[in-house]
Amino acid sequence: MPRRLAPGGGLAVLVVVTVLAALAAPHATALRGLLTSGRAAIASPVSPAAPAIRTPASRAAHAVGFALRQRGKPYRWGAEGPHAFDCSGLTWAAWQAAGVTIPRTAAGQLAGLPRVRGRLRPGDLVIYRTAGPTRRHVAMVVGAGRMVEAPGRDIPVRSTSLRRGYVGAVRPEGGQ
């Protein structure tokens, strides 16, 4: 007489098989090559064609790296790169390069992104009050006490000490 599975046992098997299939999917091409050629074809645990999974910290690191690579490029009001930047164009382009869409202007970034609670982290944006046409200036935190900014006319993109007196700090990858 055949043995009967416990109620819900089939669902547990289905869940286990689904999880195993999801874990093996990135390696399917390598596994297929291993089975058809008879030799080891698995060279690394991640297929080179597989998209990288980025965490908030790695996206922030990517944005910071992008912004720092722009040092020395000229300031031009309204510019978003690649040859010149204004302050919010620099922060916008840096986060775009990291795969994160943020508002384009300093005022929009202050109003539309989650506020930082606690310590500043690399990638956070600090917004200052200015006398310029938009009345706001934004810079990106790049490390302990340092920021990168496109400060204004005749001053190229630069890394400098974080200034006190900002009106707000936002975190494109979420507050906290």
Beta bridge partners of 143: 146
- Do 60 and 31 reside in the same domain of the chain? no
> Is the predicted pLDDT of residue 101 greater than 70, yes or no?
yes
- Do 44 and 116 reside in the same domain of the chain? no
pLDDT tier at 173, thresholds 50, 70, 90: confident
pTM, 2 dp: 0.69
In a domain, 35, yes or no: yes
Q: Which residues of 21-44 are buried (b: 16+ CB within 10 A; e: fewer)?
A: eeeeeebeebeeeeeeeeeeeeee
Q: Which residue has the higher pLDDT, 119 or 10?
A: 119
In a domain, 118, yes or no: yes
- Do 31 and 118 reside in the same domain of the chain? no
- Do 149 and 69 reside in the same domain of the chain? yes
In a domain, 175, yes or no: no
Q: Could you tell me the residue range of the domain that residue 26 belongs to?
A: 1-51
In a domain, 156, yes or no: yes
Decide if 27 contacts 7 (C-beta within 8 A): no
CATH number for 116: 3.90.1720.10
Distance between CA 84 and CA 91 in Å, rounded? 12
- Do 99 and 137 reside in the same domain of the chain? yes
Structure token digits, residue 156: 């190229």
In a domain, 176, yes or no: no
Express each pLDDT in 103-119 by its tens digit.
Answer: 999 999 999 999 999 99
In a domain, 125, yes or no: yes
Q: Which residue has the higher pLDDT, 125 or 173?
A: 125
> Is the predicted pLDDT of residue 94 greater than 50, yes or no?
yes
* pLDDT of amino acid 68: 98
Per the document, the length of the chain is: 176
